[in-house]
Amino acid sequence: MFFEHIHVDAMKLSVVIPVYNEKDTIREILRRVQDVDLPKEIIVIDDCSTDGTREILQSLPPSDNVKILFQPRNAGKGAALRAGFRQVSGDIVIIQDADLEYDPAEYPELIRPILKNKADVVYGSRFLSGPHRVLFFWHSVGNRVLTTLSNMLTDLNLTDMETCYKVFRADILKKIELRENRFGIEPEFTAKIAKARCRIYEVPISYAGRDYSEGKKISWKDGIAALFVILKYRFMD
């Protein structure tokens, strides 16, 4: 069993934000996260951006609850997250993308199952009736295929394994070792919390997806890579 029930007035969130080439959204996502009325630290990891994001982060005024890390080279979302996780000092960790697709105003609902001691991990699902922007059919099919395969090999019944919003008790990071450098960290994390027999909840979230002209980065190649990662952590790790 993980640590005891957390009281909201005593707990602290660690919001971990991996960033790569998000100059148009980085200021706004930081503002939205700061606007959430919960005790928190914000850990930003710039994955060697080349579009001016790095310079924007360097120019921000110092803040008591914001820590900014700069990767020496572009290594991927997984590597950025691992760097951020090493800095976590809060009780609950929230992974937040920097692209405005996910709404920080939903943090209270995401952490509720953990605060009630019903869950160790919470996934925010884009497929549980929350409002969402209508976009790519085949992208949604790919997500469902990957989620289904992951479920078959982990014996879970998730609806959205690839969601950004993975929220978990911070001490879980001491119980699993994450290795994937890129988007493969999504199925890897899922496989390892399943093996650790964590209590997992899903809650519906809204989703304001982007198209590729607006900066969306994940592609079908990442989907193929995810298939191999799912198999790897079921049969080889």
Whether 46 contacts 30, CB under 8 Å: no
Whether 160 contacts 143, CB under 8 Å: yes
Q: What is the pLDDT of residue 28?
A: 98
Entry pTM: 0.87
Q: What is the pLDDT of residue 192?
A: 94
**Residue 29 reports pLDDT greater than 50:** yes
Q: What is the pLDDT of residue 1?
A: 37
**Residue 4 reports pLDDT greater than 70:** no
Range among 66-70, 124-128, 232-236 with highest mean pLDDT value: 66-70
| All domains of the chain in start order, with CATH | 13-235 (3.90.550.10)
Report the distance separating Cα 17 and Cα 130, nearest Å.
23
Whether 210 contacts 216, CB under 8 Å: yes
- Side-chain half-sphere exposure of 231, counting CA atoms within 13 A: 5
Q: How confident is the model at residue 214 (pLDDT cuts 50, 70, 90)?
A: very low
What is the b/e burial string over 40-56, where b = at least 16 CB atoms within 10 angstroms of the residue's CB?
A: bbbbbbbbebeeebbeb
What do you get for the CA distance between the two ends of the chain, in Å? 23
**Residue 73 reports pLDDT greater than 80:** yes
Mean pLDDT over each residue of the chain, to the nearest integer: 88
Q: Which residue has the higher pLDDT, 228 or 165?
A: 165
Q: What is the pLDDT of residue 105?
A: 97
Report the distance separating Cα 24 and Cα 21, nearest Å.
9
Report the distance separating Cα 84 and Cα 46, nearest Å.
10
Q: Give the tens place of pLDDT for each residue, 126-175.
A: 988 766 555 556 567 777 888 888 898 889 999 999 999 999 999 999 99
- Side-chain half-sphere exposure of 162, counting CA atoms within 13 A: 25
Tell me, letter by letter, the H, E, C secondary structure of the chain.
Answer: CCCCCCCCCCCCEEEEEEECCCCCCHHHHHHHHHHCCCCEEEEEEECCCCCCHHHHHHHCCCCCCEEEEECCCCCCHHHHHHHHHCCCCCCEEEECCCCCCCCHHHHHHHHHHHHCCCCCEEEEECCCCCCECCCCHHHHHHHHHHHHHHHHHHCCCCCCCCCCCEEEEHHHHHCCCCCCCCCCHHHHHHHHHHHCCCCEEEEECCECCCCHHHCCCCCHHHHHHHHHHHHHHHHCC
Instruction: Name residues whose C-beta falls within 8 Å of residue 29's C-beta, 6 or more positions apart in sequence.
Output: 17, 22, 96, 97, 98, 99, 100, 104
Q: Give the tens place of pLDDT for each residue, 170-213.
A: 999 999 999 999 888 999 999 999 999 999 999 999 998 745 44
